[in-house]
């Protein structure tokens, strides 16, 4: 089963949110899903309200697996039924002795191949910053989702990412889908940004499919502050939020129906 990555060389564009929702969509349909956080903020834990698990133990990070100090079972954290998370240090300072060496790159590849028999999908949440671990994992990804924020700053993430791929010899054709995020019918800027993005994609990533844009929805922040995913069967306290949650769920199902893995 494929390794799917959410990436953009720009912060705060919705990578973690999108990959988290996607993971929960698959796991709630009965698939076994693993999300590896390559971001040392491990913010994917917040999407599922399990941030207490980030600091609950100091020896269950991805790096301990790579250094052969731990087994998969020791570091998996269950976020929902069929949905597991792995956290990372991925910081040169913290992982001093555990930084990715050449031999560990090979281990990582072997591990991911092995995991493929346990999980239906392996999804990876990346930070916008560069690291050797990110580059190796981008290389190993079957499908890269490039998440782009629909404002002038977010749009810059498109070229930053292309440049980063070229500089680090990562295959641009790995980008199979582009995810425009933060669309709003009532505002001019996101509409224009979406048009520009479609043009840029046609020219620089012609094989990538531009997905229907995810709307800007304030309920996403409310859900995340409560650790609830739109795929959770939980009613929101406010009926306004509940209606928005249901609308978001429909949006997401429509977007995910365009993704073939």
Using CB under 6 A, list all residues that contact ligand ATP.
11-17, 39, 43, 127-128, 181-182, 214, 216-217, 220-221, 224
The closest residue (CB) to Mg ion is 16
Query: Residue 219 CB, nearest distance to ligand ATP (Å)?
Result: 8
**Minimal distance, residue 89 CB to ligand ATP, in Å:** 16
Residue 214: contacted member of Mg ion, ligand ATP, none (CB under 5 to 8 Å, by partner type): ligand ATP
Residues that bind Mg ion (CB under 5 A): 15-16, 43
Residue 157 contact partner, candidates ligand ATP, Mg ion, none, CB within 5 to 8 A by sort of partner: none
CB of 152 to ligand ATP, least distance (A): 16
The nearest distance, CB 230 to ligand ATP, in angstroms, is 11
Q: Which does 182 bind (CB under 5 to 8 A by kind): Mg ion, ligand ATP, none?
A: ligand ATP
21 CB-contact burial (10 Å; exposed 0-12 / middle 13-18 / buried 19+)? buried
């Amino acid at each position: 089963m494929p390794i799917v990555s959410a990436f953009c060389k720009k912060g705060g564009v919705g990578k973690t949110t999108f990959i988290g929702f996607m993971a929960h969509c698959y796991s709630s349909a009965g698939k076994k899903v693993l999300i590896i956080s390559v971001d040392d903020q491990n913010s994917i834990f917040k999407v599922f309200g399990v941030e207490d698990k980030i600091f609950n133990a100091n020896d269950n990070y991805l790096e301990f697996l790579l250094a052969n100090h731990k087994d998969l079972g020791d570091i998996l954290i269950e976020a929902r039924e069929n949905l597991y998370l792995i956290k990372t240090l991925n910081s040169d300072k913290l992982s001093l002795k555990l930084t990715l060496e050449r031999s560990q790159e090979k281990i990582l590849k072997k591990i991911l191949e092995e995991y493929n028999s346990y999980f239906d999908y392996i999804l990876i949440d990346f930070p916008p910053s560069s690291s050797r671990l990110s580059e190796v994992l981008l290389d190993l990804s079957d499908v890269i989702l490039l998440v782009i924020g629909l404002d002038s700053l977010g749009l810059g993430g498109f070229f930053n990412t292309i440049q980063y791929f070229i500089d680090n010899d990562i295959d641009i054709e790995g980008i199979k889908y582009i995810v425009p995020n933060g669309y709003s019918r009532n505002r001019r800027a996101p509409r224009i940004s979406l048009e520009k993005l479609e043009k840029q994609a046609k020219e620089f990533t012609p094989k990538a499919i531009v997905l229907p844009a995810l709307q800007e929805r304030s309920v996403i922040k409310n859900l995340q502050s409560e650790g609830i995913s739109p795929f959770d069967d939980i009613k929101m306290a406010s009926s306004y939020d509940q209606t928005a949650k249901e609308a978001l769920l429909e949006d997401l199902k429509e977007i995910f129906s365009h993704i073939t893995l």
